[in-house]
Amino acid sequence: MSPEFIIYAWTFGTLAVFALLALWNEHRRRTFEPARQPDTIFRCEKCAAVYTDDPAVERSRCPQCGQTNHPVEF
Ligand SMILES: [Zn+2]
């Protein structure tokens, strides 16, 4: 084996590993992102503060003033 071959093999091997890691990362991101529900947006009726909370909750308490609010309908 010539030293050049070892250098080329090492370089391409490293690049291949990085490419695989990037692909795997991208795949993992695409697999998990749609499953995750985005937070529900709430807008306080009392102080107009906009905040987010768990999408499972029907009503959320305003972190600013404590007013209970319904989610914002688009
Ligand atoms: Zn408020």
| Number of neighbours of residue 62 by Cβ within 10 angstroms | 20
CA of 11 to the centre of ligand 1 (A): 57
Whole-model pTM over 0.85: no
19, pLDDT greater than 90: yes
Q: How far is the CA of 44 from the centre of ligand 1 (A)?
A: 5
pLDDT at 29: 81
The predicted structure's pLDDT at residue 34 = 62
CA distance 31 to 44: 34
Predicted local confidence at residue 1, as pLDDT: 74
Q: Quick: pLDDT tens for 32-63.
A: 666 667 788 999 999 999 999 988 888 999 99
Distance from the alpha carbon of residue 14 to the mean position of ligand 1, in angstroms: 53
Question: How far is the centre of ligand 1, averaged over its atoms, from the C-alpha of 56 (Å)?
Answer: 20
Break the chain into its structural domains and give their ranges. Answer: 1-36, 40-69
CA of 40 to the centre of ligand 1 (A): 16
